[in-house]
Structures are given as structure tokens and as C-alpha cells.
Amino acid sequence: MSELKLNHIGLTINDFDDIQNFYINILGFKKIREFNISSDIAKKIFDVEKEILIVVLNNNYLTIELFCFGKSEPKYFSHICFNVKNRNEFIEKIKRTKYHYFIIPRGNYDLLFIKDNSNNLFEIKEME
């Protein structure tokens, strides 16, 4: 059986100022990087057709991805990401179940997501 290790948690934030004021100043996270995902990728993963700014923070124990989406928008981007020792083995395991999964090609690697029956979204990456 594949061993799971938490990689990161993705959260939607409505107020960009919370990055500094809450996550950095109060919770003690440090900004690692920021990047945008294209509207095409956002549509394929989260069914939202909009380019999204993602800010990655870390506190030596936990990495979080903050999806900056706007003040009045609903929460679309919440997910948990796990690392597995052997992603191909994990994919074969998923294929033998009733759970919905999808793979999205992206540059030099692809993205693997699986949903539980409550529509919770999990990203699966191979351990480095």
C-alpha cells in the first residue's frame, strides 16, 4: 500500500491583505513563492474559468497554497495534497475503485486529482 505524506493544503482567500496580516503576521508563515494558474487549468481542476493567483506559504511544518479569488466569490479551491512513494501504483489502486480521478497534463509533469464521495478534492504527488 502506498504511504501518504501531507504535501500541502489549498485554501481560498477573499482578502489579499490576509496573506500578510493573518497568515504571515499572526500564524508565522513565510512566503515561498507566488504564481498564476491559467484559466484553462483552473477550469479543468476546479471548474472555474478564471486565471488565479496562488501564494505559497510555509512554516517549516506545513505548506499552504492560498488561492486569491476575490471578496464575493464562493470557495472553489480547497484541497489537500499528499505525497506517495509510487504514484503509478497509487493510480492503479484508484482504477480498481469507484472513486472519480482525473489526470491533467501540464508541461513536464501531469497533475493527479481524486475526489471522495463528498466531493472533497485530493491532489496526489510522488515523493521526491
pLDDT digits (tens, 9 = 90+) for 23-61: 998 888 999 999 999 999 999 999 889 999 999 999 988
Assess whether pLDDT exceeds 90 at residue 119. no
Other Cβ atoms less than 10 A from the Cβ of 124: the count is 22
Q: What is the pLDDT of residue 73?
A: 66
Strand ranges of the sheet holding 63-68, from the earlier edge strand across to the other edge: 30-37, 52-58, 63-68, 4-13, 79-84, 121-126, 109-115, 101-106
Assess whether pLDDT exceeds 90 at residue 117. no
> Architecture of 4-126 per CATH?
Roll (3.10)
Domain range list for the chain: 4-126
Length of the chain: 128
CA distance 22 to 10: 16
3-state secondary structure of 128: coil
Residue 38 corresponds to which cell in the numbers above?
491559467
Range of lowest pLDDT (1-5, 45-49, 75-79, 115-119): 1-5
Residue 50 corresponds to which cell in the numbers above?
478564471
Mind listing the pLDDT tens digit for each residue in 51-80? 999 999 999 889 999 998 876 666 778 898
3-state secondary structure of 25: coil
Q: What is the pLDDT of residue 118?
A: 73
The residue with cell 472533497 is 120
